[in-house]
């Protein structure tokens, strides 16, 4: 099998920590180029812009876009219009509309578009989905709390419009929730807490509505100290399921379920390789729609200024 020549656009922390190791371990892909203004990868040709890459390297047939969401649309549009396959780091865009535009363009040009949700590839997510599939749901509680100073040190873009604020990690929880739930939920209320000196929220409390009066709530907070809390608890009439550690641990009624775990990002690239082989796309906007609804419905609360 000939490896697909792929370029990473945006060589930052997530690319170095996750994408580059996953690509190196996957025989379906070859890291053939990068686009970065702050330094690329040793031994790999780097370009200053996506347009320069597209002009110089017709052999690079796929791009993995790892830059922040606001500038991502222009890069993705240019690549798809040029006939290249595109993989989008989460969230897939700064707005729902622009991702729909990219999806339509990909279908028109016959290329694959993959809007990724890496947390769906945590080891416990698929077993959780399977266990919940035939069970009536009584209650859902999501808690996704971490220290922003640890996970996003000095990253100004997350506090700017389009940066999502606490929904940057919170959308990971929503991507799992929308994957495992056997019934649809829609947002019915939200309270968003903004530091007085920031333009995106540092905390959010969400309420969802679903069939049969289900009780579903979520709490996101970037002020967590003493370790992360990344968990989803689902109470059914046949027991209580809990996903912890971002989906890496699964318990049913307090008993651990054995899991096979080879990492979230290797799973993403296996999925991308399958889409390329089949000529398909995977663009699920459900998590991003929940975030958009939270900003539409959310009551704004102001709190003390936040400083890194």
Token pair of 269 as six digits: 């690239």
Q: Give the position of tokens 């008993």.
A: 255
Whole-number Å distance between alpha carbons of 272 and 283: 12
State yes or no: is 145 an active-site residue: no
202 with 148: CB under 8 angstroms? yes
Token pair of 108 as six digits: 């028109």
Instruction: Please tell me which residue in 13, 90, 135, 145 is annotated as part of the active site.
Output: 90
The catalytic site residues sit at 90
């Amino acid at each position: 099998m000939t490896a697909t020549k792929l370029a990473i656009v945006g060589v930052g922390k997530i690319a170095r920590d996750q994408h580059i190791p996953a690509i190196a371990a996957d025989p379906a892909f070859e890291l053939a180029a990068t686009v970065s203004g702050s330094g690329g990868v040793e031994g790999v040709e780097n370009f200053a812009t996506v347009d320069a890459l597209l002009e110089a390297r017709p052999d690079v047939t796929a791009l993995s876009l790892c830059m922040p969401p606001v500038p991502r649309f222009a890069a993705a549009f240019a690549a798809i219009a040029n006939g290249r396959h595109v993989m989008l780091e989460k969230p897939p865009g700064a707005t729902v509309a622009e991702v729909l535009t990219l999806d339509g363009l990909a279908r028109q040009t016959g290329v694959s578009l993959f809007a990724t949700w890496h947390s769906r590839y945590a080891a416990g997510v698929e077993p959780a989905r399977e266990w919940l599939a035939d069970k009536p749901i009584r209650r859902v509680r999501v808690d996704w709390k971490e220290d922003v100073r640890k996970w996003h040190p000095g990253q100004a873009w997350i506090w700017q419009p389009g940066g999502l604020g606490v929904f940057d990690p919170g959308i990971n929880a929503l991507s799992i929730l929308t994957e495992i739930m056997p019934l649809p939920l829609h947002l019915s209320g939200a309270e968003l807490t903004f530091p007085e000196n920031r333009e995106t929220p540092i905390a959010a409390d969400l309420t969802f509505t679903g069939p049969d009066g289900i009780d579903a709530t979520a709490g996101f907070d970037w002020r967590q100290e003493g370790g992360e809390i990344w968990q989803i608890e689902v109470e059914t009439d046949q027991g209580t399921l809990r996903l912890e550690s971002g989906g890496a641990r699964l318990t049913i009624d307090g008993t651990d379920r054995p899991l096979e775990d080879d990492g979230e990002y290797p799973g993403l690239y296996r999925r991308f390789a399958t889409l390329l082989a089949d000529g398909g796309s995977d663009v699920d906007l459900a998590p991003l729609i929940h975030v958009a609804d939270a900003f539409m419905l959310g009551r704004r609360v102001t709190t003390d200024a936040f400083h890194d």
